[in-house]
Chains A and B, each alone.
Chain A
Amino acid sequence: MSKNKSDYLINRKDNQYEVVIGLEVHAQVTSESKLFSSSSTKFGAEPNTQVSLVDAAFPGMLPVINEFCVKQAIKTGIGLNAKINKRSVFDRKNYFYADLPQGYQISQFKDPIVGEGKVILDMPEGQKEVGIERLHLEQDAGKSIHDLDPQNTFVDLNRSGVALMEIVSKPDLRSPDEVSAYIKKLRSIMRYLGTCDGNMQEGSLRADVNVSVRVKGSKELGIRCEIKNVNSIKFMQMAIEYEANRQVDLIEDGKSIDQETRLFDTKKNETRSMRSKEDAHDYRYFPDPDLLPLEVSDEFVNELKKNIPELPDDKKKRFIDEFKLSPYEATILVSDIETAKYFEEVVAKMGKNKDIKLAVNWITGELFAVLNDKNLEISQSPVSAKNLAILVNLIKNGTISGKIAKTVFELMLDGDKDPQKIVEEKGLKQQSDPKAIEALIDKIINDNREKAIEYKQGKEKLFGFFVGQAMKVSGGKANPQLINEILKKKLQ
């Protein structure tokens, strides 16, 4: 397998294959109630406690659209730089299943609420644009539970009728890494907008992955297989890797690829055929006669546009322009809205004479390490933005050294302590009085006369020894810059 820069290619004898991937992401809309009923959408409730007569498809029950979910979909569309369709239509997708009470799913087929858009990915080699084909609203189904009883299947309808956004990408993705970046970017945008929490463990975000392969350079698309309902980025990547290789092997063996729906077995790390094209459901889509076409006015859309927060791409640009961050640093800081918020708060609290670079280093270095170690989100950070700002300022104005700061930071973790107070209480203030340091250095040179001579004769490595001694004797508090300056003078 070659990995020259972005190229993810599968090599076989004489051929190099390119992988073509398109995703259908199902994102659960963040909303209190379901798409067509007033039942709660809260995760983790007792089975069948959040089910209305509409959700359970009782005779004569009718769907009524939840306006909030419509707004959420439009906001997401705006975030994807997409065309908002002022008229969209809800269709019925007909099929029988025990956890589909109506015998049809209300979805949008021909006329989705959101049309074409695009998402920008920040890849190590540079930016990549991924086309969005459409976004439509639809109902989720219930849940069949097969393993509670040897004879029976249990059905939980809590999820039945919950609003989903299906976001369909164009077949623009070329590698598992791009898929990962794409999912992360979508999730980031939706979290900024508050339209989907992106929680993959709770099933709020899952995807059907369409994979095909073709000889590198070919313009035509190969026959694709759809891998259904993959619920983690890692599994998506594994599934693509397996599936692409499977398809290449078939082609190399002179066999043909069947267009089919496949399942990814996470235990065996392989995809398996679920149903072939011939067995594909005929969903008999037709406009739902219980619902009128959904029409939104320009004012409605404009009002939503007005209240769209700054999104990751714009925020990144601003961070680069305003704070002189590198694109790399900016990308890291904007990828998660909470991180961006934290960073901006630190910047705000640092006041006039601030060192933004230093703050970025502390956030992406020490703080991230601690969060990672303790498995915490930045919103749960044990160190507040305010106190981190104070700490950075203490370094910047020379009150403490970077080294001491690390000690102070450790102490801050326990109850978000004020670093200023820690420095005072523990007497960690940096010695910046040149006379005191000069006296200190004189004593060290005096105690190590032989080494001083060796240094002067050309053994320059010994400089570090003297610095170390000075730090040791001062208990780490002596200003390292001053030590350097004075030492150099004294050892000349």
Chain B
Amino acid sequence: MSEITKQSLSELVKNIKDKNLSSEEVTKAFIDRSEKSKELNAYITENYSSALENAKKFDQKPNLELKLPGIPMAVKDLFCTKDIRTTAGSKILGNFVPTYESTVTQNLWDEGAILIGKLNCDEFAMGSSNETSFFGNVQNPIDKSLVPGGSSGGSASAVAGQLTPITIGTDTGGSIRQPASFTGTVGLKPTYGSCSRYGIVAFASSLDQAGPMAQNVKDCALLQEVISTYDPKDSTSIEFKRNEYSKELTNNIKGKKIGIPKEYRVEGMPKEIEDLWQKGIEFAKDCGAQIVDITLPHTSYALPTYYIVAPAEASSNLARYDGVKYGFRSKGENLTDMYEKTRSEGFGDEVQRRIMIGTYVLSSGYYDAYYLKAQKIRKLIKNDFDEAYKKVDAILTPSTPSSAFKIGEKKDDPVSMYLNDIFTVPVNLAGLPGISIPAGQDTKGYPLGLQIIGKAFDEQSILNIAYAMEEKIKFKNKITDWWIK
């Protein structure tokens, strides 16, 4: 048996079910490694002692029928967890302890998972490098001073660094897939409406979606199976037949039609990304898939559309953080003064920037020119995909236009930072599922990911394609444990 923290979720589940390992042993192993990995700064809040207690409790009366029997895991700190601090990476929620549990995390605990901690993320999930977190940068286990991507940077770092066997993130414009790509891990953004948003600190309600992150496709499939449930507490949750994704997972994708959208060949795209994409096409062919050239004509409008819609919703969603009811409050001379001080001290720069953009695009006189137009383009982008899916079963693109960059490299250049999301945002705008799988390394040895985009509610197909390609790609993440002294 290999070292516990190196095992995949499926191996751990099997070993616990076969009683080769106890939940306590597994939990302790991940806690120990997490303790040694403080330099990654992946955690905002640790829950070690109560995790160990829960593991012991599980072992006393193990329910081995569960899908995640006694499996320890950390989750992005955007999910509200009952009695455990939930910060959304922000000072303004720095002391906030929910009295309630998000539906998605509740689903995890109901299947036997045990919470070991809350993972770092960009403040209110706004960022692509985890540098906007009030709780500091997160290191990428791939290399020192490298960003893990964002906003689910702590989650990606924790999975790649084996601090947690699996995790969940949220993805509004690429926040699961981009960090997965940067850390050589697998991340799935499900169809909008697949996972309940109840209890997830909102960024942009019409785009936010929780999803699984893991070391391989199979683990992702199992986790997706657990977290995706219809939830009447979320009016945008959708009732549809949810597969047992892990059970129905197959590497037989013969005859599946995979579209290659020409518009994703963006200007200035590094050659290694172009090469990776080509390699991906070859792998897909090797798996028996049929490659079809397609067009998604409105792709170039996706990024500006996203950076109108998301900030607009965010500006309104974040209005509740006003110092009146909970969270951080600064003293003020009067109500308005208190609001101004609380919000300018409580929110970081990027969040304030997006609140201002959002407020601007919704203002009377600008609404039609920005917000309304963006909504119209959003519809066109969705139509592009609908047209494409008349011809193909899935679409293959790179996950990101580059590999991970250095901490600080793009911090003062928001536009260049936003460009990171260029391949991922169209998927959120169209509400579709997308998965990023590691597919190679650049010249520096940093991982690069490929994205497979599916039809709405057809997570199974993209999981199958990813599973089949994963087998061919045989990607091996280079983790040197450089941060462990």
Contact = CB atoms under 8 A, between A and B. Distances in A.
Interface of A: 53, 56-65, 92, 94, 96-98, 101-104, 153, 155, 282, 284-286, 289-292
B235 A104 contact: no
B225 to A, nearest CB: 23
B100 A289 contact: no
A454 B39 CA distance: 126
B322 A58 contact: no
Contacts of A291: 235-236
A379 to B, nearest CB: 38
Contacts of B86: 59
Contacts of A63: 235
Interface in B261-318: 312-313, 315-316, 318
Given A57-B325, A59-B86, A103-B319, A282 B364 contact: yes
B257 to A, nearest CB: 32
A102 B100 contact: no
B198 A62 contact: yes
What interface size band does chain B fall in?
Answer: 35 or more
Residue from the set B100, B197, B320, B363 with the largest chain A CB neighbour count within 10 Å: B320
Given A60-B102, A62-B197, A282-B364, A155 B324 contact: yes
A206 to B, nearest CB: 23
B200 A284 contact: no
Given A60-B199, A284-B363, A286-B316, A53 B235 contact: no
Contacts of B324: 98, 101, 155
Contact of B362 (A96, A286, A289): A286
22 contacts: A53-B100, A58-B100, A58-B326, A59-B86, A59-B201, A60-B199, A60-B202, A63-B235, A64-B233, A94-B362, A98-B324, A103-B316, A103-B318, A103-B322, A155-B324, A284-B367, A286-B312, A286-B362, A289-B205, A290-B202, A290-B236, A291-B235
B352 interface: no
Interface string B99-111: 1101000000000
Nearest to A60: B199
Nearest to A94: B316
A436 B246 CA distance: 106
B103 to A, nearest CB: 10
List the 8 shortest-distance A-B pairs measured between CB atoms, nearest first: A103-B319, A289-B205, A284-B362, A289-B206, A57-B320, A60-B199, A59-B201, A60-B80
B339 interface: yes
A292 B100 CA distance: 24
B349 interface: no
Given A103-B316, A290-B205, A60 B326 contact: no
A62 B200 CA distance: 10
Given A53-B100, A153-B335, A284-B362, A59 B198 contact: no
Contact of B98 (A59, A64, A104, A284): A59
A98 B324 CA distance: 7
A59 B82 CA distance: 12
Contacts of B102: 60
B446 to A, nearest CB: 34
A1 to B, nearest CB: 40
Given A59-B201, A60-B199, 13 more contacts: A59-B98, A59-B202, A60-B200, A62-B233, A64-B233, A96-B319, A96-B339, A101-B324, A155-B324, A284-B364, A284-B367, A285-B362, A290-B236
Interface string B176-202: 000000000000000000000111111
Contact of A102 (B80, B199, B204, B319): B319
A289 B335 CA distance: 28
B98 to A, nearest CB: 7
Contacts of A286: 312, 316, 362, 367, 371
A59 B93 contact: yes
Contacts of B318: 103
A104 B316 contact: yes
A62 B102 CA distance: 11
B96 interface: yes
A482 to B, nearest CB: 76
A364 to B, nearest CB: 50
Contact of A292 (B199, B233, B236, B312): B236
Nearest to A92: B316
Nearest to B231: A62
B100 to A, nearest CB: 6
A31 to B, nearest CB: 18
Interface string B320-345: 10101110000000011001000000
Contacts of A56: 325
A476 B336 CA distance: 77
Contact of A64 (B88, B235, B313, B367): B235
Residue from the set B205, B324, B335, B362 with the largest chain A CB neighbour count within 10 Å: B324
Contacts of B96: 59
B232 interface: yes
A102 to B, nearest CB: 5
Contacts of A94: 315-316, 319, 362
Interface string B60-87: 0000000000000000000110000010
A104 B316 CA distance: 7
A247 B220 CA distance: 70
B319 A292 contact: no
A208 B140 CA distance: 58
B54 interface: no
B360 to A, nearest CB: 10
A97 B236 CA distance: 27
A98 B363 CA distance: 22
A302 B482 CA distance: 70
B400 to A, nearest CB: 26
Residue from the set A101, A286, A292 with the largest chain B CB neighbour count within 10 Å: A286
Given A62-B197, A290-B236, A102 B320 contact: yes
Contacts of A103: 316, 318-320, 322
Nearest to A153: B335
A58 B98 contact: yes
A138 to B, nearest CB: 16
Contacts of B232: 64
Contacts of B80: 59-60
B359 interface: yes
Contacts of A284: 315-316, 359, 362-364, 367
